[in-house]
Structure 1
């Protein structure tokens, strides 16, 4: 999970489900339940390219960081509820992403 995603997940959990799910997620992060991937310095240019290319979606920086990280790590599957964005974006390393669940 790219580090930029954490802020979005915490926000959504807190505003839509309340403090308890947010606290559990933070605890899971602390326990190492998720692999957290920092955004590499070279990723920022690709993130900007994706935001510019898909501006009509619009694709934001957080989603673009998911794409960029998946490209860098050659990951073809993305867990998301945002099928609209990720079904349109074409990664460099594959024809398309496999979207989960």
Structure 2
């Protein structure tokens, strides 16, 4: 199932906060958007080859469950 989430104007503040928080990696807007959606929905599973998702936290707490392929 594919779900599309629209980023709202008020979400940009959180996206910028995330990119600032992870500036040492550095986090781009695409990664920040995926973390934001995880925070909003509670979805933890992600299919990615990007190793940064091992370090990103959902809501500064939980980690992502990386789907292995």
Same fold (TM over 0.5): yes
Q: TM-score range by the shorter chain?
A: 0.7 to 0.9
Q: CA RMSD in A?
A: 1.6
Number of residue-to-residue matches in the alignment: 68
Q: Which residue is 1:68 aligned to?
A: 36
Tell me how far apart the structure 2 counterparts of residues 34 and 75 of structure 1 sit (CA, whole Å): 13
TM-score, length-normalised on structure 2? 0.85
> 1:53-93 deviations in whole A, cap 9, x for unaligned?
111101101100000011101111111111x2111111117
Q: Once superposed, which parts of structure 1, at least 4 consecutive aligned residues long, lie more than 3 Å away?
A: none
Larger Rg: 1
Gaps of 5+ in 1: 1-32
Aligned mate of 2:18, from 50, 55, 59 = 50
TM-score, length-normalised on structure 1? 0.60
Q: Name whichever structure is richer in helix by fraction.
A: 1
